Amino acid sequence: MLHSGCAAPPLAFLLLLLLPPGPCAGPTPSRPNFLLLLADDLGLGDLDSFGNRSLRIPHLDGLARDGVRLTQHLAAASVCSPSHATFLTGRYPVRLGMVTTNGARGLQWAAVSGGLPTSEITFAKILQQQGYATGLIGKWHLGLNCESPTHHCHHPLNHRFDSFFGVPFTLMGDSLQAEPSEKRVRLQGPLDLGAQLLLLSLLCLASGKLTGLLGLRWVPRVLGPGCGALLLACTSCLLGVFIVHADCFLMRDHQVVQQPLRFEASAGLFLREAEAFIHRHQASPFFLLVSFLHVHVPLVTSPAFWGCSSHSAYGDNVEELDWMVGSSLDIRVSGGSGLHIRVSERSEACTSGSRREVDGEDLMPALLRTAQAAGHNFLLHYCEARLHAVRWFNRLSCTVWKLHFATPCFHPPGLGACLGFPACACSGRRMTRHRRPLLFDLTADPGETRPLRGPMATHRRVEAAVAWMLRTRHPRAAPPLALHTTPGACACSPAACPDRSAPATT
């Protein structure tokens, strides 16, 4: 199953492969083994199966050609922590406590006291209860600690993965000493300002001392601020090194085995670990999730793939990802061959990685081609904890509508992105609340470029359907912005929206 991840950039793809059980699988050979391959930030337009011919990605495109493409499968969020949480639980991030209201968007430190609650039911827990061996290789980014650095309450093993080999956090610019992350910038700002103020104090005190206006001793009254400025400046310069050691490390279960992680060698490490896991559990059904570091910035690529593509560092990283996927497909289970779902099918049912109240839908009938996926009538689009839009599939007219209560102020206008900022804003002056919600017909306008101007009866019908759903089906979901609110202060164009999903055909 190839996930086009068309909700909002950054995008993701998901591969579901069913491997036949090994010959020693015991009395239940009909139970398949599951291998899930997950990657962040892969764009819809990067794949040959969706129109791009400029990258050499035969394994990804082969899976899309021979398998099932869910062209309406939407990521629950545009950043790692909330989208991964929804993927594991089938619940909106706002139900899980995996969203913020301060602009941070995701977990900011590996040692932060927070993460995916262990009360949540992950599919690893469900499969483990059914006798499956469960494993996670690669990126987690759903929390680690609670009360102390060794209290791993949010660790993958506490979410019923039998084994974990990977990074508990995520890739950031600091990981490779590249451009600083937003948290590093926030920390360096006060340090640099303090150093400048102390340096200014030093200059003033030294001038007063030299001119005789101030009868101060050089030590510590005059030189003290200079020492403080030097200390703050050194701390600011060394902050990146500290973050690398604090956040960028490799764990096997609860043990740190490499700190900091040598990222250039991580691809080979993860592939060897995946092969070892599959061979280790060939006598019993297993579930393995491989969560790649690709193609997340800062684009960690092995030297063998440097300069191999026609799209610089990003293209190199995508092509290495394809090689890793191909290597995963080549893994053999006791002489048996890997098998993914081969039905050469394209499904346009509206689905999401997200009713306990689980918000997700069962995709297996569509993946196995035993039935067409029912999909969602409604999908809620949150920005942090704020409901910004709702998508409605009207099955009577076979039309997909999307109602926007708010949109970010894109920069540059019309681009569908917020360049120069860590992320598009969910509130404040860089976000516009619409006096009347914008309505898009995604069936005719999948790029959301033309808000529907009339007739008003259509607006009222869609608004009434969405309001009924929010009152009756999602009472605990965060309430939407009022249908008639005061517009925001910015003058951005609401026409270009970050959602680039393709419509369901009529």
CA angle 16, 20, 23 (to 5 degrees): 155
CA-to-CA distance for 170 and 105, rounded, in angstroms? 13
Active-site residue, from 80, 248, 409, 492: 80
99, two tokens? 């969203």
Neighbours of 487 (CB within 10 A): 11
- Whole-angstrom Cα distance, residue 318 to residue 139? 17
Catalytic residue chosen out of the listed positions 59, 73, 84, 141: 141
161 CB-near residues (< 8 Å, 6+ apart)? 124, 134, 135, 136, 289
Residue 434 bears catalytic tag: no
Which of 440, 444, 372, 445 lies closest to 404, judged by CA? 440
Q: How far is CA 379 from CA 99, 200, 243, 351, 449, in A?
A: 17, 55, 37, 8, 20
Query: Cis omega before residue 358 (within 30°)?
Result: no
Cα 36 to Cα 124: distance, rounded to the nearest angstrom: 11
Any idea which residue has 């406590």 for tokens? Answer: 97
Residue 141 bears catalytic tag = yes
Count of beta carbons in the 10 Å neighbourhood of residue 267: 22
The string of DSSP codes covering 44-94 is GGGSGGGT--SS--HHHHHHHHHSEEETTEE-S-SSHHHHHHHHHHSS-HH
Residues marked as catalytic: 80, 141
